[in-house]
Homo-oligomer: A and B are copies of this chain.
Amino acid sequence: MFDPACPSNATPFQIGDKWAGMVLVCLRDGPRRFTELRVPMHRVSAKVLTETLRALERDGMVTRTVHDEVPPRVEYALTPLGRTLFPAMDACRAWAAEHLGAVLDARDDYARRSA
């Protein structure tokens, strides 16, 4: 789902902390359990993912629901407010898809000029 080699890591746009944007994308198609989120976000430690989810919950973007089962099932889901981020996020992602190559080229040029 997320290619580590994807240059979008170099995009100047960032939403929330480093991983919030990815979490939002993971939740776009519906609620997910913590363990389900860790699959596409395997590069993120459980501790960091927990902090990202908590920050998104604090900002009203995500809900955390504990289902009264044995064992208890914890699910994360986007709120309507969380969904309002997607148009701007999509604009940022479209920018990255179109222009990121030019940013990477500029960085190479700058490195050569500064060498």
Contact = CB atoms under 8 A, between A and B. Distances in A.
Interface of A: 12-16, 20, 57-61, 81, 84-85, 87-88, 91-92, 94-95, 98-99, 102-103, 105-107, 109-110
Question: By DSSP majority rule, is chain A's interface helix, strand, loop, or mixed?
Answer: helix
B99 A58 contact: no
> Which 5 pairs across A and B sit closest by C-beta, in order of nearness?
A60-B106, A91-B91, A88-B91, A12-B16, A58-B110
Contacts of A81: 99, 102-103, 106
B94 A88 contact: yes
Contacts of A87: 91, 95
Contacts of A105: 60
